[in-house]
Amino acid sequence: MTRKILLFLFSVFFFISTNAQCAMCRAVLESGEDQSAAEGINDGIVFLMAVPYLLVAIIGFVIYKTYSKSQKPTNTEETL
C-alpha cells in the first residue's frame, strides 16, 4: 500500500513539473518575446495529454465496480 502511495505522489509531482512542448514548438515560441503564448501552448499540450488517461481511468473504474458488484453473493435468506 505504501508503495502505491509513493508511486502516486511521484507521478503527481512529476506531472506538475513537466514541459510538454516538442522541440519545434519550443524553438518557435522561445524566439518570440511573448512568453505567455509559450505557457499557453504548454498548458494546452499537457491538457490534451491528460484527458485520454483520465478517460481510461474512469472507464476502468466503472468496469471494476460493475464486475465487483456482480461477484458479491447476496444473502437474502439471512436477512429474513
pLDDT of 77 over the 60 cut? no
pLDDT digits (tens, 9 = 90+) for 24-51: 766 777 777 777 777 777 788 788 888 8
pLDDT of 60 over the 90 cut? yes
Tell me how far apart the alpha carbons of residues 35 and 33 are, in angstroms, rounded to a whole number: 6
pLDDT of 6 over the 90 cut? no
Residue 36 in grid coordinates: 505567455
Q: Which domain holds residue 46?
A: 14-71
Does 78 reside within a domain? no
Tell me the C-alpha to C-alpha distance, in Å, between residue 39 and each of 16, 32, 53, 72.
13, 12, 22, 49
| Cell 522541440, residue located | 23
Does 37 reside within a domain? yes
Does 57 reside within a domain? yes
